[in-house]
Structure 1
Amino acid sequence: MPQVSDQYPEITEFESLLEDARMNAATDWDEQFVADLQAKFSQYGDRAFLSDSQRAQLERIANDE
C-alpha cells in the first residue's frame, strides 16, 4: 500500500489537503474519516499508509465547495 510520501512528495500539500477536508467535512462520516487520517498522520508522519480509495475520499471532501 502506498504511503503518504509516495502520493504527496511535498508533505505540506498533504497537510493543506487534510486541513481543507477538516473544514469542508459535511457529514459525521466525513468528519470521522478526516479525524482518523489526521490521527494516523500525527502518529506515523509521511510514512502513514494511504490507499487510492482513501486519497480519492480525502480529495472529494477537501474539494467539496
Structure 2
Amino acid sequence: MTKTLLLVGLDPGVVDFSDPALAASNLDAAKLQAGLDAAEAELKALGYDASWVLTDRGETAEATVRA
C-alpha cells in the first residue's frame, strides 16, 4: 500500500528574497521551486505518493490547505 504525503509550504512566488536573512543564500523563486520539485521526486522514488500544497503568506493559506 502506497503511503500518501501532503507537503505544505510557501509558494516560491510569495517569498521575499530581498530579505537580509535570505539575500546571502542566492536563492530565487526558480531555484526554490526546483528544490521543492526535487524533494517531491525523491519521495516518489522512495515509493510515496507525495504532492505539494503551496500557500501564500496567510491570506488564503488555511483555505488552500483545507481544499
- TM-score class normalised by the smaller sequence: 0.3 to 0.5
Q: From the two aligned structures, give the one with the greater strand fraction.
A: 2
Q: Which has the larger radius of gyration?
A: 2
Q: From the two aligned structures, give the one with the greater helix fraction.
A: 1
Q: What TM-score do you get using the length of structure 2 for normalisation?
A: 0.36
